[in-house]
Structure 1
Amino acid sequence: MKYQIVPVTPFQQNCSVLWCEETNKAAVVDPGGDIDRILNVIKKEGLTLEKILLTHGHIDHVGAADTLAKSSGLPIIGPHKADQFWLDNLSGQSKNFGFLPVEPFTPTQYLEAGDKVTVGEQTLQVLHCPGHTPGHVVFYSDKDKRVWVGDVLFRGSIGRTDFPQSNHQDLIQSITKVLWPLGNDVEFVPGHGPVSTFGIERQSNPFVADQLFE
């Protein structure tokens, strides 16, 4: 599976376009805004966009999802239902974070741990990783050893837990008990900043390095 990161919104959120090389069918992960940038990648690569995938309900990750879905006739898949309260408060998020107005919406399908989503002939496994938000999910390609983690983990950092219904201990558990078992060689694409691997973070991340838990 190929992918391209498309930085969107003033927060430079890592929206990703993923596609199956056999079929050229694509999905977009976390379209927070700047739809034209996203569609330019789709057009340039000759792709057919078939679905929208959401890791969690924060506006910089979902702000353009409903508009893109309605304009292109696409389903919105994810996040977990526990994040619906964030989607219901998109108008408030717009004001609080200085975004253009965004209306609340409900996804076509909520996701649970163990679910699978397809992109063309490729399959992504769904893992529930609460902490940053209660309904945060990540999308893992076992074939490519790559995972889209949203705001759970970053290179050298972890997701914030000072939001309503965030929980720091849940976040640490999600990282160490759900993500780490996937393997040190797994590359992750975070919601902000550069990609990294779990092995690197287990060695040097000041929040979740292995030595902190010995």
Structure 2
Amino acid sequence: MDNQFDNKGGEQNTGIGDHAIGKQVNNYGIPPEVFAEYAGKLAVTDSALASFFKIMEEQQVPHSDLDSKLREIAATHKELLLRLETVQSADPQVVRLKDEARQAIEAGDYAKAEELLNQAEARDVQAIEQLEDAARKRRISAADTNADNARLQEVQLRYAKAAAYWQKAAALLPEDEKKDRSLYLHNAGYDFKRVARYSEAMPSCRRLATRRAKARR
């Protein structure tokens, strides 16, 4: 009689017949010696290989695709382990979490690995938000400085230069600072108009100065 393997999960004594092998671990109905052979060929831990079989059972992979799918899963599994060997992060907590995730993956505990990677991602996102907030404050500060410089130029009647500073201030502001941006652009436009009026007035001023100079002679 041929060996029979019931695929119901866990450790079972399912071998019957003249060539029964007795107690075996149920992994997709694979005998222990075949399981061990796959673990060696794929160069993965027994616990990881057990997870491979569990995944295939959950995804209802046909037995005919067993070998190819095992190799596919193992290749991705090992590629991920290799990636996690060289973590590039300035945050030691992220490095630690990813190292723990690598260990979990090596053991085939993918649920734990996902949780650890999510924690690492959360730390990175938090750091990004903090950096963005700091950058926002810096942009507002830089815009204020340019606005001060614009007023400094206005004091000296350097309207063209003042307008340029107003424009620079507007460009530096964050997108949601619409009120101040509108004000800065308005001031830039006003100073440009003053430049035009000043330029138009200059010839008349020169003529007036010339007439006064002649009158004194």
Q: TM-score, normalised by structure 1?
A: 0.18
| Higher RCO, 1 vs 2 (CA within 8 Å, ≥6 residues apart) | 1
Determine which structure has the larger helix proportion and give its number.
2
Instruction: Flag the structure with larger Rg.
Output: 2
Determine which structure has the larger strand proportion and give its number.
1
